[in-house]
């Protein structure tokens, strides 16, 4: 059985690959961030770690042209790249396993190892997304995308709530060792599951070899320059350029919440770092998973633009309500509802936008164009994290949340100017996708 033959195998494989991408993310952004807050690190220090963590995901677009250029492998178009990425991730985690902990060697060496790990993690992400664009049928893209992201959120929950428990009960190295074992298990998917029937399980990874029943291979580019040239032509069009801005700016308010959340709840509201990790890595991520699946499903049925607009309005209302009702911040249940709503609308917004990205990505640039959208989406993490440092120095918490609400208006403005979205180069048939109407 191969990926091209089985929709269930595609769903399971893509979900497993996204699951292992999420585990270190949860460990870094939830467990480690809360630990640093408890040890007295400032919001700026935590934000700096988050920024370093997100940078490789912001520059992963550099991988795209090479993946679209080098596709003639007897092992498959994308499978060799996934295996190379996972080898790098395994080595990086093994180095992190040898580190005694933050309290022993400081934050800088940990941050450097995390940076290298994420370079390979971003490569796996690009190859996996390109494989999904290659193989997913149009009528399963929204649901499978939502399932992939809910799996990643499940991984974040394991890395957040799960690894927090391991860290506090057994220590640093057992927490890293568990992640290493889970990644080793995930390597079995690209090793044992082929893309097409006539592909080999093992061969020279990047030696050109066109597989007979892989018609997409014949569409490969002659050079990286050819990929870049076609990319420039694509992003000269209003649809692609506005979608790029949406990808960069739409999720900035919720990314600010993710960065500011540990410091705000632990240092200002008096939560323990374990309490925050257990919540942010558990119920909050479940709310995000629900938003991912529901957002992808509804985007396929009710219209992509409508769901983007609905999610953006939900984010604005959530932050405005929280900022204006600051006397209720002492009520734990009120803060919990805010965090749950933020995660739900964040993932609904992302999945609705991702459904649009897939319909506008050219088949011959699956790794490059789609990765640009996803890279800019990851860069919103960098923008959101970077904004916290000056805002925390200048403003009180209430004003920071008001700023996030104001930034939530940006995607609505961009959505209004987004032209009718074409699908596969043809006019889109979704009646909800019309020019200048959210």
CB 269 within 8 A of CB 335: yes
Q: Is the pTM of this model over 0.85?
A: no
The 10s digit of each residue's pLDDT in 12-44 is: 999 999 999 889 888 888 888 888 887 777 777
Mean pLDDT of 121-140: 85
Q: Which of 127-141, 217-231, 304-318 has the lowest mean pLDDT?
A: 217-231
Task: Please return the burial class of 81, using the count of CB atoms within 10 Å of its CB with bins 0-12, 13-18 and 19+.
Answer: buried
State the Cα angle at 62 between 260 and 129, rounded to 5°: 75
Closest by Cα among 13, 42, 244 to 135: 13
Mean pLDDT of 77-88: 89
Other C-beta atoms within 10 Å of 409: how many?
14
- With tokens 């940006």, the residue in question is 410
Quick one: pLDDT at residue 73?
67
Calculated CA dihedral for residues 263, 268, 270, 273, nearest 10 degrees: 0
Per-residue pLDDT for 49 more than 90?
A: no
Q: pLDDT class for 428, splitting at 50, 70, 90? A: very low
Closest by Cα among 157, 180, 117 to 29: 157
The 10s digit of each residue's pLDDT in 403-413 is: 999 999 999 99
Per-residue pLDDT for 196 more than 80?
A: no
CB 165 within 8 A of CB 32: no
Contacts of 186 (CB under 8 A, 6+ apart): 16, 17, 19, 20, 86
Angstrom distance (rounded) from CA 299 to CA 179 = 33
Average pLDDT, the chain: 83
Closest by Cα among 256, 259, 275, 273 to 36: 273
């Amino acid at each position: 059985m191969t990926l091209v033959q089985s929709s269930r195998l595609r769903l399971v494989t893509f979900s497993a690959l996204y699951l292992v991408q999420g585990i270190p993310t949860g460990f870094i952004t939830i467990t480690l961030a809360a630990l640093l807050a408890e040890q007295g690190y400032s919001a700026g220090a935590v934000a700096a770690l988050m920024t370093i963590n997100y940078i490789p995901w912001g520059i992963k677009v550099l991988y795209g042209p090479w993946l679209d250029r080098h596709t003639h492998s007897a092992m498959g178009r994308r499978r060799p790249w996934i295996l190379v990425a996972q080898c790098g991730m395994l080595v990086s985690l093994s180095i992190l396993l040898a580190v005694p902990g933050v309290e022993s060697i400081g934050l800088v060496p940990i941050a450097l190892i995390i940076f290298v790990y994420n370079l390979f993690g971003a490569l796996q992400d690009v190859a996996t997304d390109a494989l999904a664009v290659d193989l997913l049928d149009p009528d399963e893209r929204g649901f499978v995308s939502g399932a992939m992201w809910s799996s990643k959120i499940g991984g974040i929950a394991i890395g957040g709530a799960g690894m927090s428990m391991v860290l506090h009960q057994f220590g640093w190295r057992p927490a890293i060792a568990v992640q290493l074992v889970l990644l080793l298990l995930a390597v079995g998917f690209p090793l044992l599951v082929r893309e097409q029937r006539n592909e080999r399980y093992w061969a020279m990874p990047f030696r050109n070899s066109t597989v007979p029943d892989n018609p997409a291979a014949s569409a490969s580019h002659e050079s990286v320059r050819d990929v870049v040239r076609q990319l420039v032509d694509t992003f000269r069009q209003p649809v692609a350029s506005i979608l790029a801005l949406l990808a960069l700016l739409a999720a900035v308010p919720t990314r600010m919440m993710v960065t500011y959340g540990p410091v705000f709840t632990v240092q200002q509201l008096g939560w323990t770092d374990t309490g925050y990790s257990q919540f942010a890595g558990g119920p909050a991520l479940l709310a995000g998973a629900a938003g991912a699946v529901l957002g992808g499903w509804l985007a396929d049925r009710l219209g992509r633009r409508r769901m983007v607009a609905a999610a953006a309005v939900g984010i604005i209302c959530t932050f405005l309500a929280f900022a204006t009702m600051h006397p209720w911040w002492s009520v734990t249940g009120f803060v919990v509802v805010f965090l749950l709503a933020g995660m739900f609308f964040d993932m609904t917004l992302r999945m609705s936008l991702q459904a649009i990205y897939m319909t506008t990505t050219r088949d011959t640039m699956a790794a490059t164009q789609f990765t640009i959208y996803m890279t800019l989406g990851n860069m919103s993490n960098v923008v959101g994290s970077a904004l916290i440092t000056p805002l925390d120095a200048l403003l009180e918490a209430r004003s920071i949340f008001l700023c996030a609400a104001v930034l939530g208006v940006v995607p609505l403005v961009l959505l209004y100017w987004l032209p009718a979205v074409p699908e596969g180069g043809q006019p889109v048939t979704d009646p909800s996708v019309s020019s200048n109407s959210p």
